Structure formats: C-alpha cells, structure tokens
C-alpha cells in the first residue's frame, strides 16, 4: 500500500476516493491479473466495473455524465493501478483521449462519446504512431482526403494502446499534406466503420495485459463532422495536451518504482543467505537506501507537478522533464530491485519480474526520453 503520510498534492476527498479505488482494484483487478496477462487484453467486464466505480474519466463534467473532478483524482487512479503492477489502459482513456474530446470536441461529439466513456461502454484509443514514424509526428503518412462532406482515410498505425478493445479511435492524419504540421487534423473513427481493421495484438516485452495493436485504414469514410476541433489544428492540439500525457506517465512510473522497492525490501528481509537475512548485508542496505532516497525526491516532485498541473501552470518542458526523470528512475529502481531478488527475480512468478518488464517502455512511449531532453533544452 502506498504511504501517503508525507504527500501534499491531495486532500481528504482524494483520500476517500483512493480508498474506493483500492477496494475496487482488489475486487475486480487483482483476482484476474494473471488471466489478463496471459490473454494479452483486459476484459470489457473490467472496464464496466471501472465505470460503475467512478474510475473512468472522473474530470468529465456532470453535463456529460462525469463527476467534474480535478486531475488529482486521475492521479490517484494512475498511482493505484501502477502500484498494483498492472498495465491496463484506463489511464490512457482518463488522461489522454478524454481530454481531447472534452477540450476540442463539438457538443454533439461530447454527448455521443463522453457519457459512454465514463460508463465504460465505450473504450477509446488515440492513433499517432506509424510503422515509420514515432516521436516525429510531423512525419506521419496517414491521410484524410476531403471529398465533399466526408473524409476518406488511408494509412496504418502501430503500437496503439487499447487498439483491440477500442470502440472509437482518435486518428492523427494529414488533411493537407502540403502544409506540414499545419495540415494535421484529429479525426474520430468508430471501430465499426467500413474499411477500418485491427491487425495483430502485438507481442511485447512487457505490459502484456495492455492490448497494443496495429490499425489499418483502407478508404475509411467518415463525416467531416468527425473532425475533432478545427481542421489543420491537430498538431497544435497534440502539443497542448502533451503536459498531461507526460505527467501521467511520470506518475505511473513513480508508483511502479515504489512497488518494486517495496517488493525488494520484503524479499530481502525474508530470504536468508550465509545464515542471515539478505537485508543484513551492507550492500543490500546501501542499495535500498539509495532507492529510498530517489523515491523520496520523486514523490516530492510528483506532488509538486500534480499541484502545478491542477492549477494549469505545468509547462511542456516541466512535464517532459518529469516524464524523463521518473521513467529513468523507475528503470534504475526496478533493475536493482530485481537484482536483490537474485535468481527469483528472473522468474515470472514473482511480481518484480513483471515490474521490470513493464518499466522498459516508459522511456520510449509518450515521446522517447531523448526527445524529452530536446524539449527541455529548448526552454533554456
């Protein structure tokens, strides 16, 4: 259980909400985690249970079926899911796709999608990455050619979280290929639209229970009214929403790192070598002390970033720095925590193995950490 005694980003209402989230995860997630990992996807029943528990899109306004809460509640959910050792795609829906629709969507789009996303009857994804394009979104090749009152979309996407489960996909496409970044738009595509197809549920190193997919668009026709916000403003919208996406990754990384530390601490106090607990060796104590120090700094920074974001003050450079630092820290700590498990750490039956596997991608998605450094350097 996460220690909240020194936290300053949350109030009593957040604490009550956290308690309900923990109970829900204990009831609906933990008993099924191994099955979700084996099947490579989270059941739709889990999504419905999240909706019933108020764990989906908590910041959506009551006018569209939500609770109208601040981002701190999203952070609570992110922390508890990550601390549980799960890679379910709920944070993507809560922190990323919902924000695009709520911020840039028309009233009709909000009424159509947000209440269902809050209930869990509509699962969402955002399709940015392509086989030849990752962090450089201006290099996408997917096109949405306007013909009369419709777009005709052609192209492919890959590494799309929630891709197998998604009922609606926010597609990043070029509506005017000649205009570079100013020719990129965001277009809503329902999964039952003719010409839309899902490819493989990709075989990943980690995050096995997060369905991650290839998506294909072959002359997919959607109304021009499906454009999210204004045509040609998609790249700007993506840049505007990046702080929350990257903060979300940082929050999850911090909580997962804490769980890795907690697992290692419990293991070394229980396991003996040369007639004494592994904990009693100086190397073990120093390794744990170093991790504890990093986590202490990390939690203080996370709370600072959450409070700044809730006030609307967190900058893109600050969020990028948070994503880079916390994901790097997560990878360092999970690696040391696994080492302290010895041979047991290499066995999938131990949670530390999953935490170590799942950590690796956090330095890649949401923009690689090398790109994060580039973003921060531009603010100097």
pLDDT value of position 135: 66
| Helix (H/G/I), strand (E/B), else coil: 356 | helix
Superfamily holding 235-378: Butyryl-CoA Dehydrogenase, subunit A, domain 3 (1.20.140.10)
Cite the active site residues.
Answer: 245
CATH of 12-122, one of 1.10.540.10, 1.10.10.10, 3.40.50.740, 1.25.40.10: 1.10.540.10
| Helix (H/G/I), strand (E/B), else coil: 203 | coil
Query: Which has the minimum average pLDDT: 60-64, 127-131, 210-214?
Result: 127-131
**273: pLDDT strictly greater than 90:** no
Let me know if domain 125-232 sits in CATH 2.40.110.10.
Answer: yes
For residue range 243-260, what is the model confidence (pLDDT) as tens digits? 999 999 999 999 999 999
197 Ramachandran zone, left/alpha/beta (phi>0; psi -120 to 50): beta
Mean per-residue pLDDT, 168-196: 95
- Calpha distance 41→251 (Å, rounded): 23
pLDDT value of position 3: 87
pLDDT value of position 136: 67
**268: pLDDT strictly greater than 90:** yes
Mean per-residue pLDDT, 189-212: 97
pLDDT value of position 134: 63
Cα separations (Å) of 253 from 83, 108, 347? Answer: 9, 36, 22
Helices and strands (H and E) in the chain: how many: 12, 9
Q: What's the whole-model pTM score?
A: 0.95
For residue range 11-48, what is the model confidence (pLDDT) as tens digits? 999 999 999 999 999 999 999 999 999 999 999 999 99
Cα separations (Å) of 341 from 1, 20, 323? Answer: 20, 32, 27
DSSP run (H or E) holding 157: strand 150-161
- Calpha distance 125→127 (Å, rounded): 7
Q: Where are the domains of the chain?
A: 12-122, 125-232, 235-378
Task: State the pLDDT confidence band at 1, using cuts at 50, 70 and 90.
Answer: confident
- Residue 298, CA atoms < 13 Å, CB-side half-sphere: 27
pLDDT value of position 169: 98
Instruction: Judge if 12-122 and 125-232 fold alike in CATH terms.
Output: no
pLDDT value of position 144: 97
For residue range 88-143, what is the model confidence (pLDDT) as tens digits? 999 999 999 999 999 999 999 999 999 999 999 999 999 999 987 766 677 899 99
- Calpha distance 124→113 (Å, rounded): 9
- Calpha distance 131→123 (Å, rounded): 23
């Amino acid at each position: 259980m996460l220690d909240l005694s020194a936290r300053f980003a949350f109030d009593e209402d957040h604490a009550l909400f956290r308690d309900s989230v923990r109970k829900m995860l204990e009831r609906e997630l933990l008993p099924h985690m191994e099955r979700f990992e084996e099947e490579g996807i989270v059941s739709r029943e889990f999504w419905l249970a999240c909706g019933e528990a108020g764990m989906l899109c908590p910041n959506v306004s009551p006018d569209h079926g939500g609770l109208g809460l601040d981002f701190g509640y999203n952070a609570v959910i992110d922390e508890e899911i990550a601390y549980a050792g799960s890679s379910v795609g709920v944070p993507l829906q809560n922190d990323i796709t919902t924000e695009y629709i709520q911020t840039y969507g028309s009233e009709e789009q909000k009424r159509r999608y947000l209440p269902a996303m809050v209930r869990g009857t509509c699962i969402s994804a955002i399709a940015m990455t392509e086989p030849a394009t990752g962090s450089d979104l201006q290099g996408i090749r997917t096109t949405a050619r306007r013909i009369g009152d419709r777009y005709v979309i052609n192209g492919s996407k890959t590494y799309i979280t929630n891709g197998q489960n998604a009922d609606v996909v926010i597609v990043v496409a070029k509506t005017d290929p000649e205009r570079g970044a100013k020719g990129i738009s965001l277009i809503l595509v329902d999964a039952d639209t003719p010409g839309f197809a899902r490819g493989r549920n990709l075989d990943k190193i980690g995050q096995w229970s997060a369905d991650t997919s290839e998506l294909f668009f072959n002359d997919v026709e959607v109304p021009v009214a499906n454009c999210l916000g204004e045509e040609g403003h998609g790249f700007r919208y993506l840049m505007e929403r990046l702080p929350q996406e990257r903060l979300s990754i940082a929050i999850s990384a911090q909580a997962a790192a804490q769980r890795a530390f907690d697992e290692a601490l419990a293991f070394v106090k229980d396991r003996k070598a040369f007639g004494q607990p592994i904990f009693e060796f100086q190397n073990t104590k120093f390794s744990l002390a170093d991790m504890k120090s990093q986590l202490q700094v990390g939690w203080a920074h996370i709370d600072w970033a959450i409070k700044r974001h809730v006030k609307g003050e967190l900058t893109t450079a600050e969020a990028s720095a948070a994503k880079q630092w916390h994901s790097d820290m997560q990878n360092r700590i999970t690696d040391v925590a696994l080492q302290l498990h010895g041979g047991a750490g290499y066995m999938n039956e131990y949670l530390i193995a999953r935490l170590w596997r799942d950590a690796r991608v956090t330095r890649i998605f949401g923009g690689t950490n090398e790109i994060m450094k580039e973003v921060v350097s531009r603010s100097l």
